[in-house]
A and B are shown apart, each in its own frame.
Chain A
Amino acid sequence: MEKSAETVGSVDLKPPASDVGALGWIKTNLFNTPFNSFLTLLILLCLYKTVPPFIKWAFLGGVWFTNGAQCKVAEGACWSVVTQNLRFILFGFYPYEQQWRPAVAIVLLIGFLLYSRERRHWNRKLLVAWPLGLAVMGFIMRGGIFGLPVVETTKWSGIILTLLLAIFGLTAAYPLGVLLALGRRSQLPAIKMLSVIYIELIRGVPLISLLFMASVMFPLFLPEGITVDKILRAQVAIILFTAAYIAEVVRGGLQAIPKGQYEAAESLGLDYYQKMRLIILPQALKIVIPPTVSILISAFKDTSLVVIIGLFDLLKTTQVTLSNPEWMGFSAEAYLFISLVYFAGCFSMSNFSRRLEDELRT
């Protein structure tokens, strides 16, 4: 571009040094008013008071691979409580020599999840690959083929159980929730009524009481000699609970679609299923991605409530480790570790949803 006439021959003055570069940024953003200056200083003070002691505790004074007695004399954090018990915390009762199998399955699962993150990989093949992949993981863990010894599902514990409850809980709850939302908006009074009763009943009680009902009340009402697996009972309770919440979120999406969309679909001669599948649901589900993901995230964290009915999920195996006299008292380190695990799961879910929203924006 050519310079305009007025600027020809004039000298470009640089702005004052205090307005550009790092210094300028600090001045305009952190110290632009007295109140902001005060806040900045306050936050700096808080950071100064907390961060260096934490680093000193966690890293400089921390011990990583010692026994409990050496931990007691250490100055900082005792990460040994995690490293020395890692295999029990992660795999629980899964036979010690066979623990490579759940490890392989988890690596496979993470691979699948990472691959499926990219929307350009979404196609029919992937749709077939998922159930196949889950079946392969199941076979690796269950054994009984290729000379692998059988490991019963009652021994699946630790992070395996957490992932099992989370993945099957979320994937089963989502379609059920969508169906319930459609049911609640249905013209048929019976279906509408049933959906409303279901949603309101389930939303009206806390998950803990559902889990207690599943584990304490339910077996008493079964006929003689019939018992339903404890894990399955908890899994069903989690699915039922999450589905009710998803239903309400999806209903919000359905109501947000302008009436014209419904009418347009009908004037094209589409029947109910075509209308929902091709026109309404794709738009409605897209709108409600953020609240849906926040429900899925809280459902993932809620799986840790199975602790109260004596199932050994990740939280319970950690608590058991902490009740060993050798490791008693190092709860901060152990809980920090599992909060990291949960954070990794939740953060990648919310990250994924943000990307999905960006890509789907039309």
Chain B
Amino acid sequence: MKRMKVTAVTLLVTLLLMAPVAAGAGETLDAVKARGYVIVGVNGALYGFGMPDEKGVWRGLDVDTGRAIATAVFGDPDKIKFVTLTTQTRFTALQSKEIDVLCRNATRTLSRETDLGLNFVTVNYYDGQGFLVPRKLGIKSATELNGASVCVLPGTTTEQNVADYFRANKMEMKPVVIEQNTELNQAFFSGRCDVLTSDASQLAGIRAVAPNPEDYVVLPEIISKEPLAPAVRHGDDQWRDIVDFSVLAMINAEDLGISSKNVDEMLKNEDPNVKRFLGENPGNGKALGLDEKWAYNIVKKVGNYAEVFERNVGMESKLKIERGLNAQWKDGGLMYSPPFK
């Protein structure tokens, strides 16, 4: 009897938890259009990805991805509202429909796709864990780090990854665990540890704030895979397609050589791939349920992937991150868009 009661309660709770997750196709797009703006969940305090500048204007790679989605739907990058989310609140905010899409440097994993009922779309930044060392140690590769003391944040996958890496390579390490990011950096700069480990995108920023950035080098090894991608709820495939192809449109534009500066000249280009992409030859827009000019608008008003990358995390930003894995497939990177036909 008691057991049945417990089962019933569990069932009820599960039902209540599941209820908001199920969504009909096309429902999100209709809701977004009726509302007049897209609601995007962002980080809020991650420079280069999602953070307001000193005038309160949102900047970052994830922010611009959100703007691309708003542009695809409304033709206007400002028809958007940003909601800041913490690591704890980010997935529930999506499940409870507080946001339409999550662009918050979230790593795509199997359990997030299945247990949490999320669909990750095309990756907009390939990150991975790396090492930062003082140049004076003369270390060229992470395999030379035997016996090093390593500064690392506690309780993160970062801590586990670095322990696994050292064990796999039969090296000894002395972890120096420090709770706060800023204090971790201070400890490293003052020489309390030989090496600092974190996501490669973070290392570039940490190096940039060093007393003398030239004294430090980021080692070439990347010891974990962190594909960061926008995510939507399970069950609304049309919305998923719109978000997915908004990211892909930026990548494809770079591949086709179209940027915000030359997009108007490219309208006259005779290449059928370009004509289809920019909506001169219609079809793509209708298929997604959008205006035929959607991709043109994204390139014109937000930019192609190279422009977005460079101004937020690349050479035009303070982070100065190399394209690396995030280069186009032709240049040895992983950015690869399927054909727009």
A residues contacting B by CB (< 8 A) are: 72, 84-85, 87-88, 91-96, 154-155, 157, 212, 215-216, 219-222, 224-225, 227, 230, 308-312, 316, 319-326, 328-329, 331
- Quick check: A88 and B20 within 8 Å, CB to CB? no
CB distance from A220 to the nearest CB of B (A): 5
Within 8 Å by CB of B182, from A311, A324, A328, lies A328
Q: Which residues of the other chain, A, contact B319 by a CB distance below 8 angstroms? A: 325
* Complex CA distance for A230 and B16, rounded to whole angstroms: 20
Q: Does B301 contact A (CB under 8 A)?
A: no
Residue contact A324 to B47, C-beta cutoff 8 Å: yes
Q: Chain B residues near A320: list those with CB within 8 A.
A: 44-45, 51-52
Chain A residues positioned under 8 Å from B46 (CB to CB): 323
Q: Is the CB of A154 within 8 A of B52?
A: no
- A220 and B92 contacting across the interface, CB-CB below 8 Å: yes
> Are B54 and A321 touching (Cβ within 8 A)?
yes
Asked whether B55 lies within 8 Å of A219 as measured between CB atoms, the reply is no
Once the chains bind, are B51 and A88 in contact (CB under 8 Å)?
Answer: no
A100 CA to B252 CA, complexed, in Å: 44
8 closest Cβ pairs, A-B complex: A219-B96, A310-B84, A328-B209, A93-B56, A325-B318, A96-B55, A323-B45, A325-B208
- Check A220–B17 contact: CB distance below 8 A: yes
Contacts of A87 in B (CB 8 A): 54-55
Q: Is the CB of B186 within 8 A of A329?
A: yes
Contact partner, A310, options B85, B97, B182, B205, Cβ 8 Å: B85
CA distance A216 to B318 in the complex (A): 34
A219–B92 touching, CB < 8 Å: yes
Q: How distant is B58 from chain A, measured CB to nearest CB, in Å?
A: 9
Contacts of A311 in B (CB 8 A): 84
Verify A84–B88 contact, CB threshold 8 A: no
Contact call B51/A324, Cβ cutoff below 8 A: yes
A9 to chain B: closest CB distance in Å? 77
> Closest residue to A152 on the B side, CB-wise?
B81
> Taking the nearest CB of chain B, how far is it from the CB of A343, in angstroms?
22
With a CB–CB cut-off of 8 A, which chain B residues contact A94? 56
Give the chain A neighbours of B208 by CB distance below 8 A: 325
CA distance A316 to B92 in the complex (A): 21
- Say yes or no for B95: interface residue by CB 8 A criterion: yes
Which residues from B are CB-within-8-Å of A321? 54
Q: How far is the CA of A324 from the CA of B93 in the complex (A)?
A: 26
In the bound complex, what is the Cα–Cα distance between A323 and B59 (angstroms)?
A: 13
Distance, CA A312 to CA B52, complexed state (A): 11
Q: Assuming A219-B93, A325-B318, what are 5 further A-B pairs, CB within 8 angstroms?
A: A92-B52, A222-B96, A308-B86, A323-B46, A329-B186
With the chains together, A324 CA to B185 CA distance in Å? 14
A103 to chain B, nearest CB (A): 15
Q: Are A220 and B20 in contact (CB under 8 A)?
A: yes
A273 to B319 alpha-carbon distance, docked (Å): 66
Is B89 in the interface zone, CB < 8 Å from A?
A: yes
Instruction: Classify the interface of chain B: helix, strand, loop or mixed.
Output: loop
Interface size on B, residues (CB 8 A): 38
Which residue of chain B has the shortest Cβ distance to A86 in the bound complex? B54
Cross-chain contact of B55 among A88, A309, A312, A324 (Cβ < 8 A): A88
Q: Point out which of A95, A212, A215 has the most chain B C-beta atoms below 10 A from its C-beta.
A: A215
Contacts of B96 in A (CB 8 A): 219-220, 222, 227
Cβ–Cβ < 8 Å partners of B331 in chain A: none
Cβ-defined contact, A328 with B185, below 8 A:
yes
- In the complex, A210→B14 CA distance in Å? 21
Kindly list chain B residues whose C-beta atoms are within 8 Å of the C-beta of A85.
54
| B54 and A310 form a contact (CB under 8 A) | no
A219 in complex: contacting residue of B52, B57, B98, B185, CB < 8 Å: B98
A316 to B19, CA, bound (A): 33
Q: How far is the CB of A262 from chain B (nearest CB, A)?
A: 45
Contacts of A155 in B (CB 8 A): 56
Query: How long is the Cα–Cα vector from A320 to B182 in the complex, in angstroms?
Result: 12
B81 and chain A: residue at smallest CB distance: A154
B 58-107 contacts with A by CB, 8 A? 81, 83-86, 88-89, 92-93, 95-98
CB distance from B117 to the nearest CB of A (A): 12
Minimum CB–CB distance from B27 to chain A (whole Å) comes to 10
Closest to B91 in A: A216
Interface residues of B in 1-57 (CB under 8 A from A): 16-17, 19-20, 31, 44-47, 51-57
Chain B residues lying within 8 Å of A227, measured Cβ to Cβ, are: 96-98
Partner of A322, one of B44, B182, B318: B182
- Find the B residue at minimum CB distance from A226: B97
Closest Cβ of chain A to B21, distance in Å, is 9
Establish whether residues A88 and B52, one from each chain, have CB atoms under 8 Å apart when the complex forms. Answer: yes
**Can you list 24 A-B contacts (CB < 8 A)?**
A84-B54, A87-B54, A88-B52, A88-B54, A88-B56, A92-B56, A216-B92, A219-B92, A219-B97, A219-B98, A220-B16, A220-B17, A220-B92, A220-B96, A225-B97, A310-B83, A310-B89, A312-B84, A319-B45, A323-B51, A324-B54, A325-B209, A325-B318, A328-B209
A331 to B184, CA, bound (A): 13
Q: Does B138 contact A (CB under 8 A)?
A: no
Contact B56 A95 (CB under 8 A): yes
A289 CB → nearest B CB, Å: 37
Given contacts A227-B97, A312-B44, A325-B318, whether A72 and B17 have CB atoms under 8 Å apart is no
B214 CB, min distance to chain A CBs, angstroms:
13
When the two chains form their complex, are residues B83 and A230 in contact, meaning their CB atoms are under 8 A apart? Answer: yes
Q: Which residues of the partner chain B approach A92 to less than 8 Å between Cβ atoms?
A: 52, 56
CB distance from A313 to the nearest CB of B (A): 11
CB neighbours of A325 from chain B (8 A): 47, 205, 208-209, 318-319
Whether B47 lies near A93 (C-beta < 8 A) is no
Task: Mark each residue of chain B from 173 to 216: 1 if its CB lies under 8 Å from any CB of chain A, else 0.
Answer: 00000000010011000000000000000000100110100000
User: CA A155 – CA B84 in complex, angstroms?
Assistant: 12
* Residue numbers in A under 8 Å from B44 (CB-CB): 310, 312, 316, 320
Residues of A within 8 A of B31 (CB): 225
Q: In the bound complex, what is the Cα–Cα distance between A215 and B208 (angstroms)? A: 35
Known: A85-B54, A219-B98. A212 touches B84 (CB 8 A): no
Nearest A residue to B99 via CB reads A227
Which residues of chain A come closer than 8 Å to B52, judged between CB atoms? 88, 92-93, 320
C-alpha spacing A158/B68, complex, angstroms: 28
Chain A residues contacting B205 (CB-CB under 8 Å) are 325, 328
| Residues in B whose Cβ lies below 8 Å from that of A93 | 52, 56
